Amino acid sequence: MKSARIVKPKESLEVKEVETPKAKGSQVLIKVQSSGVCHSDIHLWEGGYEGIVGQFLKTTDRGVKYPLTPGHEIAGIVNSLGEEAQGFTKHEKVLVYPWIGEGLCPACRSGEENLCDKPRSLGVYMDGGYSAYVLVPSYKYLIKLDDEMDTDASATLSCSALTAYGAVKNAILKPYDNVIIVGAGGLGLMAIQLAKALTGSKIIAMDLDDEKLRAAKNNGADNTINSKKEDPVKAVMELTDKMGADAVIDFVNASKTVETDMQFLRRRAKLVMVGLFGGELKLSLVSIPTRAYRLIGSYTGTLSDMTELVSLAKRGVIKPLVSNRFKLDQATEALTMLKQGKILGRGVINP
Ligand SMILES: [Zn+2]
Ligand SMILES: [Zn+2]
């Protein structure tokens, strides 16, 4: 089978023939139709993340091994099943849950495999979807899609939309809350759709780009703030009767955005940090207890969250946005375009 692999960080992905795996036991071999291109693929490609100033957090220190086939947003067709795999038949259309754990830690035991101590995620620790086929360790990680569901849009449910959903859930929004969504890219827009459909909160989108803010409005934001053109703190205060934000979901999560977020938090506010931009933050420690802030890290979502999302997508309650399509040998180009901010919505590779 043909796969696009990161052989060495920062070098172009190699597209080459590798042996097609065989499904054994509970494993299922999926013929990949769509594999989303995610920001975290860029970090795998670059070999790490920005830590506090001057520090680079290497992916290999987290257990990532190269060569690696990236791609964790995978939708496709069941090709073959191991002898113990049940509940699925050949040719069925499925979505793959990629946030797989080792199964035995407290997180895995309580249904939060995405937060496993020893993660085995597809496309991060195991070979993923930038490939003609992907081997899924168990049928339990598959969710059936309706025949009429588009695999490109559905693929984004397993990371982009799932991360947005996890973040919205972590913000525990109430109808009387004002929530600021920082960053109106693919994840931000999905979070706006979800917050609109599920919470009743007033949604204020913040970004530097007017085009993205227009998209935010079209996806359900009540108000928008261009933080390049206006003072974001003043603008939030004006839109919240001078009270500040009850919740902020920061899909950028850079030093600069979070420093600003901290200035418009209302008492009891939740700051949900999602983006992997990185950097560091200076905190006034006394304000954390006296103003009872809650700082929350949010990473992807659970298998049960993804099951809920598929249901919302089936009924058209949310509409995942796919903007660019690529062939397998354009994998490097797809990652480059994403890095340069040229993909509005989501890019998908069709092997
Ligand atoms: Zn992702
Ligand atoms: Zn675990």
232-250 pLDDT tens trace: 999 999 999 999 999 999 9
Calculate ∠ Cα 13-14-15, nearest 5°: 115
The rounded distance, in Å, linking the Cα atoms of 14 and 71 is 14
Name residue 312's amino acid: L
Length of the chain: 351
Does the model's pTM come out above 0.85? Answer: yes
How far is ligand 1, taken at its centre, from the CA of residue 338, in Å?
12
The span from the first CA to the last CA of the chain, in angstroms, equals: 10
Asked whether the predicted pLDDT for residue 7 surpasses 90, the reply is yes
Give percent above pLDDT 90 in the chain.
91
Work out the pLDDT band at 66, boundaries 50, 70, 90. Answer: very high
pLDDT band at 295 (very low <50, low <70, confident <90, very high): very high
In angstroms, the Cα distances linking 37 to 44, 80, 110, 332 are: 12, 25, 29, 10
- If you measure from the C-alpha of residue 289 to the centroid of ligand 1, how many angstroms do you get, rounded to a whole number? 33
Ligand nearest to the CA of 98: 1
pLDDT score of 277: 84
CA of 115 relative to ligand 2 center, distance in Å = 7
Which pLDDT score, from 0 to 100, does residue 324 have?
94
Instruction: Over range 154-176, report the average pLDDT.
Output: 97
Give the Å distance between the CA of 99 and the centre of ligand 1.
10
Higher pLDDT, 234 or 185: 234
